[in-house]
């Protein structure tokens, strides 16, 4: 029985006190020796090799494409092409070293939610630097003479092929049992159980959650009852050895500061990944910075308001991308508009009043997904729509769902075409016109109604310092599976940690979320 199978057997069981004596010192020494000497095929071992293969294949494919395109349009000799290809093959170890320096092979083992979208900036830098160095080396030595068109084609193709290859490599890796990391959470309080729920909601993270370590755990929530309580922290080293635990998450345990430090030192000797939930984690955004004062780490929180230059860059990206997307999808917009009109009578677009930047009201555009008489608001269903809404809210389960999510999963007012549009998020495409008008941004907090603003409490002012977005941080972290409190927390984290890189990552992951329909209603 392997470690993963042993861990799986623990799900749904409470470990008894006798477990402390199940593993003697001799057995622990053997397990420690295995962990240190055996070539264990874990996530890091697997993903590093898969990414390495993807990088090599991507570079070679880019070179072959560049050679083929240039040779097909010119009379370049095949000897030069062969020489340049051989030089690229010979330089691949150097490319790998630079990629390693950029840390593009280790992040998957360290970070639970790392994806190819997070690699985009690093891949761009690596390919740009190494392509320039390759040209400089051939120019100075005179070994080969790659032309400017060939280098540009190679540069663009290498970025594309390497990113696509890495996405495929990660997808294949996630299908292997070696990708799973046996994980325990130290602390079974409110924060520890919140972390557990998040891990269970995201199986793509590859976390095989074994259970909790806590001497005085809180009563577990119903959806976490199957997770084992493994005992107190004194048992943690033995549990790590016996169950081959690879990740330990410290989530506000009840242990003293000194006891937690001792525990961390022991875990480092066992070569496990350690994650620590920081104090005041509600205020820590995705781009928080860590700096030091004489070795003491400080967590730096950037100002919530965007600078003038950041606003200018963000607006430029909004205009450029929204125009490009609208031109590309214009046939789709026409087809959807025709389908909405044929399916039910009434206007094609629905305007929903929301609160925008600085509290200014705006009308968010969407394709109409409900029958006209059920659309709330002036100019639509009017009193009839309000009566139907109140009738739905008479159902306690629906009232609870709407109060938590501000939407209904199975809404009887939605048309046949509307259900398809909502499932594929196509109903939100007209919001690109809001972006062109400067009312929305491509990425930002959720556009909320005036009624919702009170639920943000003291964070409402910070939320209104930035334009709402067509998509946002919450969109890539569960969408409709999230509770309302989680959405508020993610909006707050985005406002406090904006960066252009974060916007790019959110846009790329949004496309993936829509394609896979993850969390859609």
Q: Tens of pLDDT along 254-302?
A: 777 777 888 888 887 787 888 888 877 767 767 677 777 877 778 777 6
DSSP three-state, residue 497:
coil
Are 53 and 169 a contacting pair, CB within 8 Å? Answer: yes
DSSP three-state, residue 296:
strand
Distance CA 327, CA 321 (A): 10
**pLDDT of 33:** 56
**pLDDT of 404:** 66
User: Percent of the chain scored above 90 by pLDDT?
Assistant: 26
- Tokens found for residue 418: 């509307």
More confident site: 82 or 405: 82
3-19+180-277: CATH number: 3.40.50.20
Average pLDDT estimate for 158-179: 92
CA 111 to chain centroid: 11
pLDDT in tens, 120-139: 989 999 999 999 998 888 88
Average pLDDT of the chain, as a whole number: 82
Are 496 and 462 a contacting pair, CB within 8 Å? Answer: yes
For residue 291, list its beta bridge partners.
Answer: 298
pLDDT exceeds cutoff 80 at 90: yes
Average pLDDT estimate for 62-85: 75
User: Percent of the chain scored above 70 by pLDDT?
Assistant: 86
Query: 234 falls in which pLDDT band (50, 70, 90)?
Result: confident
**Distant-in-sequence, close-in-space partners of 58: CB < 8 Å, separation ≥ 6:** 158, 161, 162, 163, 164, 165, 166
Chain position carrying tokens 């709402």: 468
**pLDDT of 74:** 64
Q: Where are the domains of the chain?
A: 3-19+180-277, 43-173, 308-369+414-516
Count CB neighbours of 302 within 10 A. 15
Count CB neighbours of 253 within 10 A. 24
For residue 213, give the H/E element and its range: strand 207-213
Distance CA 106, CA 103 (A): 6
**pLDDT of 22:** 47
**Pairing, β 289-293 against β 296-300:** antiparallel
Average pLDDT estimate for 381-390: 83
Cα-trace Rg, the chain: 27
Longest dimension (CA), the chain: 81
Query: 61 falls in which pLDDT band (50, 70, 90)?
Result: very high
For residue 25, list its beta bridge partners.
Answer: none
- DSSP secondary structure letter of residue 370: B
pLDDT exceeds cutoff 60 at 251: yes
- Tokens found for residue 109: 């083992």
pLDDT in tens, 9-42: 444 334 434 444 444 555 555 555 555 544 456 8
pLDDT exceeds cutoff 80 at 479: no
Q: How many CA atoms lie within 13 A of 169 on its CB side?
A: 25
More confident site: 499 or 171: 171
- Tokens found for residue 271: 């070569």
């Amino acid at each position: 029985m392997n470690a993963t199978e042993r861990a799986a057997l623990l799900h749904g069981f409470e470990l008894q006190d006798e477990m402390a004596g199940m593993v003697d010192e001799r057995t622990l020494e053997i397990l420690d020796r295995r962990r240190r000497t055996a070539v264990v095929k874990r996530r890091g071992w697997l993903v590093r090799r898969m990414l390495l293969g993807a990088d090599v294949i991507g570079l070679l494919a880019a070179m072959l494409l560049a050679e083929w395109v240039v040779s097909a349009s010119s009379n370049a000799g095949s000897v030069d092409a062969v020489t340049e290809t051989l030089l690229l093959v010979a330089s691949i170890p150097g490319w790998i070293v630079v990629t390693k320096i950029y840390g593009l092979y280790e992040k998957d083992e360290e970070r639970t939610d790392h994806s190819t979208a997070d690699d985009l900036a690093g891949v761009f830098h690596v390919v740009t630097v190494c392509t320039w160095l390759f040209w400089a080396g051939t120019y100075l030595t005179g070994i080969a003479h790659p032309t400017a068109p060939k280098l540009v084609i190679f540069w663009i193709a290498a970025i594309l092929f390497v990113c696509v290859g890495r996405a495929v490599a990660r997808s294949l890796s996630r299908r292997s049992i070696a990708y799973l990391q046996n994980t325990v959470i130290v602390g079974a309080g409110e924060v520890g159980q919140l972390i557990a729920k998040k891990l269970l909601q995201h199986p793509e993270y590859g976390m095989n959650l074994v259970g909790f370590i806590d001497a005085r755990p809180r009563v577990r929530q119903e959806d976490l009852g199957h997770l084992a309580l493994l005992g107190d922290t004194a048992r943690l080293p033995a549990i790590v050895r016996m169950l081959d635990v690879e990740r330990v998450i410290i989530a506000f345990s009840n242990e003293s500061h000194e006891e937690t430090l001792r525990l961390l030192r022991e875990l480092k000797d066992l070569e496990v990944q350690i994650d620590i939930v920081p104090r005041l984690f509600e205020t820590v955004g995705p781009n928080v910075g860590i700096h030091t004062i004489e070795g003491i780490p400080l967590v730096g929180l950037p100002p919530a308001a965007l600078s003038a230059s950041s606003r200018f860059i963000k607006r430029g990206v909004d205009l450029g991308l929204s125009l490009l997307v609208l031109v590309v999808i214009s046939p789709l917009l026409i087809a959807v508009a025709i389908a909405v009109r044929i399916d039910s009578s009434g206007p094609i677009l629905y305007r929903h009043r929301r609160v925008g930047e600085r509290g200014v009201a705006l009308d968010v555009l969407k394709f109409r997904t409900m029958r006209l008489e059920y659309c709330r608001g002036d100019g639509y269903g009017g009193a009839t729509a309000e009566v139907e809404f109140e009738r739905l809210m008479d159902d306690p389960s629906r009232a609870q769902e709407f109060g938590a999510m501000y939407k209904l999963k199975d809404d009887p007012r939605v048309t046949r075409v509307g259900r398809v549009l909502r499932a594929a998020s196509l109903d939100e495409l007209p919001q690109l016109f809001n972006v062109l008008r400067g009312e929305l941004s491509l990425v930002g907090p959720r556009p909320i109604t005036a009624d919702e603003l009170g639920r943000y409490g003291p964070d409402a002012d910070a939320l209104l310092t930035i334009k709402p977005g067509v998509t946002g941080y919450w969109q890539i972290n569960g969408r409709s599976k999230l509770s309302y409190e989680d959405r508020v927390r993610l909006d707050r984290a985005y406002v406090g940690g904006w960066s252009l890189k974060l916007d790019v990552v959110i846009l790329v992951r949004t496309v993936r979320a829509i394609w896979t329909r993850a969390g859609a209603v």
